[in-house]
Amino acid sequence: MPRIPTDILIAGQWRRGAGEPLESVDPATGQVLTTLTGASPEEVAEAAEAAALATADPAWRDLLPHQRARLLHRIAELTEEAADELSALQTADTGKTLTETRALALSAAGTFRFIAAALETAEETITPSRGEYVTMSVHEPLGVVGAINPWNSPVASDAQKIAPALAAGNAVLLKPAAWTPLVSLALGRLITQALEEFGLPTALLSVLPGSGRVVGDAVVRHPLVARIGFTGGTATGRSIAAVAADRLIPASLELGGKSPTIVRADADFEQALAGVMFGIFSSSGQSCIAGSRLFVAREIYDAFLTELVERVSKLRVGPGTDPGTQVGPLVHHLHRDSVAAYVDLARSEGARVLCGGAVPEGAEYQDGAYYLPTVLDGLPNTSRTCQEEIFGPVLVALPYDDEDDLVRQANDTAYGLACGIWTRDHRAAWRLARRIDAGTVWINTYKQFSASTPFSGWKASGLGTEKGREAIRAYQRQKSLYWGTSDAPLPWAN
């Protein structure tokens, strides 16, 4: 078992918080891993004030971009070296398989490394002159930024916000989810170590676990917080957007999804079957980009569903620490109950449960937050089951007749986060990819990510963009400079 954090990081200091107690529960066993004390609103204010002072410290304020890049490279090294520990912590806290959590830890390291490279090569712009002056556009840090992340992939989500924010010259108040604070605190320890090695103020990062209602709200509303980066549910995102609008500060919001995954009649069956299952049942379906609505061409619908159900029924459900596990427990018993309630709703709407639809039986499952991988059909796309995000291992299958029917159904949702297309026809793939309302489209693959590729949601799936070279600019403000080159006086000069 890796070292389990017992303190939280407030303004560069490790100590017990003064807020609400937080239980970290292993969802595979139901056992309490540790009880932390979260941050209080007063400690959020303390962290914000210390962060503002840290950004004004010449040691940080005057650090050149390539020097900040060296810091990010060091964080990447430390994260990579600690990948096994971070993986074990995240598996214990979330129930994900060790294979997935190790990949997430390495992804976090890769994000810091990519952002460091992007920072090294970022350029300011000399803009075309329209008079006797030289003009240029420069980018400066915002100051203190708030990062609020969900419980499903904490270490990767943390890196996606912390790396560009530090690269841009800011300080960060990180609010991890109350259910899964451990890996965020462990990452905070690595970043603090790097800051100390470089002689930089450790108050540049605080890790403040607690509820969104208390800690998250305090972060969003604090007057020193100049930007919010949020990943989570759409309802919470709307609330944050309202506060940000009232305060006139920028916010990026990565929100929910009900993503379509499409199997055309000409698709490679084996590739599509594996891809559909991976798209929804990896991470136990607890992913905003999960391909939770399956659209299959009517002429192959029955054959495809028959084979899919047979394979899904054989997926291995178990603890994330078992190398043979394909579907781990859900993050918490309360969330498992929410997923089960949605399947009950589907039944009431007339769904056929083709497989799953229950808690697995057996002594090895009785204390964990397990739910069987589930395939449903027989519902119209207008049903609540097809329209609302379940965030669990539940797939709803629907047939389609032609491309227009497919596009109409696929786009008939409040969300627009992702889409998967399985086809051998490259022209049809391109045409569909352009017609589907989604920020990310995968063709003959699914859930592949690159730190270099921008990620954004459309419609109720979000606002703003993460990742890519421009991620750094999102955490800066732009300033235009004019340098006069004429000796002639301006008008009205004596």
Q: How far apart are CA 273 and CA 261, in angstroms?
A: 11
Instruction: Quote the Cα angle for 379-383-385, to 5°.
Output: 85
pTM > 0.85: yes or no: yes
Instruction: Quote the Cα angle for 185-71-148, to 5°.
Output: 35
Are 493 and 487 contacting, i.e. CB atoms less than 8 angstroms apart? no
Residues of the chain with pLDDT under 50: none
- Cα 426 to its chain centre, rounded Å, is 30
Instruction: State the pLDDT at residue 494.
Output: 58
Catalytic residue (one of 288, 355, 386, 419): 288
Q: Is residue 288 annotated as a catalytic residue, yes or no?
A: yes
Q: Is residue 459 annotated as a catalytic residue, yes or no?
A: no
Are 167 and 118 contacting, i.e. CB atoms less than 8 angstroms apart? yes
Instruction: State the pLDDT at residue 64.
Output: 96
Instruction: State the pLDDT at residue 100.
Output: 96
Q: How many CA atoms lie within 13 A of 181 on its CB side?
A: 29
Q: What would you report as the CA-atom Rg of the chain, rounded to the nearest whole angstrom? A: 24
φ and ψ at 170, to 5 degrees?
-95, 175
Q: Is residue 355 annotated as a catalytic residue, yes or no?
A: no
| Structural domains of the chain, ranges and CATH numbers in brackets | 8-255+461-480 (3.40.605.10), 260-443 (3.40.309.10)
Q: Convert the pLDDT of each residue in 119-168 to its tens digit.
A: 999 988 888 889 999 999 999 999 999 999 999 989 999 999 999 999 99
Q: How far apart are CA 356 and CA 436, in angstroms?
A: 30
Total Cβ atoms within 10 A of residue 129: 12
Q: How far apart are CA 148 and CA 154, in angstroms?
A: 10
Q: Is residue 254 annotated as a catalytic residue, yes or no?
A: yes
Q: Provide the Cα torsion 269, 273, 279, 285; round to 10°.
A: 160
Residues 6+ apart with CB under 8 A from 100: 282, 283, 320
Residues 6+ apart with CB under 8 A from 237: 230, 253, 255, 462, 463
Instruction: State the pLDDT at residue 156.
Output: 96
First to last CA, the chain: 78
Q: Convert the pLDDT of each residue in 2-37 to its tens digit.
A: 788 889 999 999 999 999 999 999 999 999 999 999
Q: How far apart are CA 80 and CA 465, in angstroms?
A: 25
Instruction: State the pLDDT at residue 1.
Output: 64
Are 396 and 386 contacting, i.e. CB atoms less than 8 angstroms apart? yes
Helix (H, G, I), strand (E, B) or coil at 90: helix
Catalytic residue (one of 43, 46, 96, 161): 161
Are 432 and 420 contacting, i.e. CB atoms less than 8 angstroms apart? no
Q: Residue 223 carries which DSSP code?
A: T
Are 73 and 116 contacting, i.e. CB atoms less than 8 angstroms apart? yes
Pair of tokens at residue 112 = 């810091």
Catalytic residue (one of 254, 386, 389, 419): 254
